[in-house]
Every structure is written in C-alpha cells, then in structure tokens.
Amino acid sequence: MTTAFLSTTYFGPIQWYQKLHRYDQAVIDRQEAFMKQTFRNRCLIATTQGTQALTVPVVHDSKSTIADVLISDHGNWRHLHWQALQSAYGESPFFEYYEDDLRPFFAENNWERLLDYNDAICAKMCELLDIQPMLIAATNQTPADFRAVINPKHPLPDADFQPKAYYQVYQQKHGFLPNLSILDLLFNMGPESVFYL
C-alpha cells in the first residue's frame, strides 16, 4: 500500500491532487510548523497577465503549528479572491458549472482556522473531481514525503509528476502554464479533470 505525506493546501496545485488520486492513502501533516510563501495558504491561477498568486492572510507566531494558524479578515481578501477567479476564469468552459459549489468559500466566513478551511476545500474539490482519496491520520509505513517537493517557490524534482498540456484560457498568450491550482484544471477541463490526474 502506497502512502503520500502532504502538507495542507489552499486550492492546491494539480500535483498535490494527483498524489491524493494516485496513492492508496494520504496523510496530511497537521502538526508541521507553518511556513510562509507555500501552498498552505496560497494558490496560483492563470490570468491575462500570467500567473497570479492568491494568498490567504493568516495570524500566527513563530511557534505555531499549522493546526494553530488562524485566518485573518484583513483586506477583504475573500471578495478579492473571488473577483480574481471570476476575471481569470469567467470565460473558461466550466466556470459557470462549478461557481455555485465554490462561491461559499469566498462569500462566507465559516472557518476560523486555516487547516479547517483547507480541509473543507479539499473535501469539496475531491467531490467535484470525483476522486475518493483515503485520508488517514497516521501510518506505520514510511510514506513518500511530498511536503517539500510541492512548493511554489522552489519545487523539488518529482519523477511521478510530468505536467502535460491541457486547454487553458490564456494559452495562446502565455503558453501552457503547468501545475497551477486545481481550479485551473477544473474550470478548463471540467468532468475530464479526473482523467488528467
């Protein structure tokens, strides 16, 4: 039985969801230290200007584990993120199909902790992608550790993930942009996203 060891993510990259789908089971580290500028609280989307990072503002101290990190309401970020997604993907083939499922993550303030918010996002994305990963709390095996590999700034080599091009709204302008947020794949490929994973 194969096990992937992952960090929590905010609308994580395609590579992260590929691990959920392809491994027999996955452990999401709930005790790791919070690290800035990672997918734990940011995602990357394609816009008319190229890649854009959407970052959830958080409240934490240097001793915080990911389970302690609180979401900040600073800067009306939920509204700004939703506007960015509408602007970037409003013309994509499947945005309208999924927008009602995803709008509550940006319209409601139902989550205090980042980990709970990310867990709710993961559950919804798995439902929309039609994948049923086995998420477990711990394992006796030595898992394949992807916590440092899946990183927006300095990704490490991953022999199991070779991004293949799929249709993207701004592909003619920027070329294919690999390993963006799972939202990019979902809005552009819809129900066929699971086959890409």
pLDDT of residue 35: 87
d(CA 138, CA 28): 9
pLDDT tens for the 197 residues of the chain, in order: 899 999 999 999 999 999 999 999 999 999 898 888 999 999 999 999 999 999 999 997 767 789 999 999 888 999 999 999 999 999 999 999 999 999 999 997 889 999 999 999 999 999 999 999 998 877 677 789 999 899 998 889 999 999 999 999 999 899 999 999 999 999 999 999 999 99
